[in-house]
Amino acid sequence: MFELFQFIVRSRNFILFVLLEVLSFYFIINSNNYWSIRFFNTSNYYAAKIMAWSNKAQEYARLRQVNTDLAEENRRLNALVTQLQQFKPQAPTNYKTDSIFATRFRFTVARVINNTTQHPNNYITLDKGTADGIQPGMGVISPTGVVGKVKICSEHISIVTSILHSDYMISSKLVKSGVIGTAKWDGVDPTRMKMLDISRNTKMYRGDSVVTSEYNSIFPSGILVGRVIRVGEMPNQTFHDVTLSVGTDFNNLSFVYVVENKLQGEQEKLEKTTEPERK
Amino acid sequence: MTLREILNIIFLFVLYLSLQILIVRNLVLFDVAFCFMYVACILLLPAEMSLSATLLVAFVVGIIVDTFYNTLGMHAAATVLMAYVRPMVVRFQAARGGFDGRIVFSIHEMGSLNFFYYVVILTFIHHFTLFLIEANNILLFLPALIKIVASTLFTSVTIMLVQYFSRN
């Protein structure tokens, strides 16, 4: 017994070292553990205060870019309004738009107070939370494209999983050929993405826009994901190797729109009822 | 340790951590070189401080930085490892005849070159652990390696510069 005690005293540093490392790796591996969600992230009240404070100072330096983005968005919206007034939606003549379905998306403007682009898994912190109606699972878009999906919310802060995340996939559509595939980040360059599942029969156009598809339940359809910049052929594969330039400029992100789909719960509930049949 | 030394250390922690969180966090060169200058808090702790205390301090500093980077555990793991190997690096350098007598970790007591070696070796160990944990994928090993080398240089040079200008 005494020898055991002596051993512990003698190698206490090593034991402490191993304990601390095990604790750290426990935190890393269970990245959704109670501690990391409740306290040790930027949704912590004090951490968020400090962030917002340091961000306020930096915002002045980015005003020019923000103004350009807003002007650009105004231009796009104006164009869209005219377009809608000019044309009726493309649909069979008997199709009537359901007004609740057509107005199912609600937008909330939020400010980015923390943002990374360099890690293999990136997150963005916003200054709005459950008090402003934001809930985990909502989509986030910027004036120039798709941003990500809300992961955690506290009362006044939310954390968003950016599309620059190794597990994030977006159902998206090539505008010119109308083919649907999956856009995914490969973890290297924050301005480049890959588009998967585009079969080799599809005709590809360089510079074609890639937008969110109608199959998305969290984003409205037609939000820009990126543009095709390179189409490669993989010799023994049935798919194109498509590289996109990301639409959103993640280095200059300051205001974003959180999208709430009011019918998402209803849709998921209904779709869930068919699940046992699929098996 | 005298009261003066303890106050000095506390001041050092507040300075380096607030620099890291408020300013250096946004400083990335060419998307590969990161600056994690908060490691200097651990590097500059006096040599007489017991290893257990150093490990605990390193863990707390790591967790604070993790909170702001949303990476709970990564910085803590790397910083604790660095704190654990610090006495070994010091002993190795002393054996090579780097310094003699009571060791004080500052550029003026150790000389620029010795201090630079000390900083580079430990920073490399820290960054190597950190970026490998973060990459977590064998395909990202090469990009991680580039980040490790670039960031080690960036962090070390920043720590050296702050040291040059902090005294006198």
Per-residue pLDDT tens over the stretch A25-53: 887 777 666 666 666 666 677 777 777 77
Residues of A in Cβ contact (< 8 Å) with B26: 58
Owner of token pair 């802060």? A157
Give the integer Cα–Cα distance in Å for B144 and B122.
18
pTM value?
0.59
Residues of A in Cβ contact (< 8 Å) with B143: 187-188
| Integer angstrom CA distances of residue B27 from A80, B19, B20, B32 | 39, 11, 9, 11
- Residues in CB range of A13: below 8 A, 6 or more apart: B51, B52, B55, B84
Average pLDDT over residues A105-111: 80
Instruction: Give the per-residue pLDDT at B168.
Output: 44
Residues of A in Cβ contact (< 8 Å) with B58: 20
- Residues in CB range of A152: below 8 A, 6 or more apart: A37, A41, A43, A136, A158, A159
Q: Give me the residues of A, 2-31, that contact B with CB < 8 A.
A: 12-13, 16-17, 20-21, 23-28, 31
Specify the CATH number for A60-85+99-165+253-261; select among 3.40.50.300, 2.40.10.340, 3.40.1710.10, 1.20.120.790. 2.40.10.340
pLDDT band at residue B115 using 50, 70 and 90 as cut-offs:
confident
Are the C-beta atoms of B39 and B79 separated by less than 8 Å? yes
Q: Give me the residues of A, 156-175, that contact B with CB < 8 A.
A: 159, 166
Tell me if residue B33 falls in helix, strand or coil. strand
Render pLDDT for A109-119 as a digit per residue (tens, 0 to 9): 888 888 888 78
Answer whether B140 sits within 8 Å of A188, measured CB to CB. yes
Render pLDDT for A156-211 as a digit per residue (tens, 0 to 9): 889 998 888 888 888 888 888 888 888 888 877 888 888 888 888 788 888 888 88
Q: What percent of chain A has pLDDT over 90?
A: 0
Instruction: Give the per-residue pLDDT at B98.
Output: 59
Residues of A in Cβ contact (< 8 Å) with B51: 13
Are the C-beta atoms of A145 and B161 separated by less than 8 Å? no
Instruction: Please report the beta strands in B8-137, taking only residues with DSSP state E, as ranges in sequence order.
Output: 28-29, 33-34
Answer whether B70 sits within 8 Å of A123, measured CB to CB. yes
Residues of B in Cβ contact (< 8 Å) with A42: 67-68, 70
The class (CATH top level) of A169-249 is mainly beta
Q: Spell out the domain ranges in chain A.
A: 2-30, 60-85+99-165+253-261, 169-249
Taking Cα atoms as reference points, which of A119, A132, A113 lies closest to residue A256? A113
Answer whether A28 sits within 8 Å of B72, measured CB to CB. yes
Q: For residue B149, is pLDDT > 60? A: yes
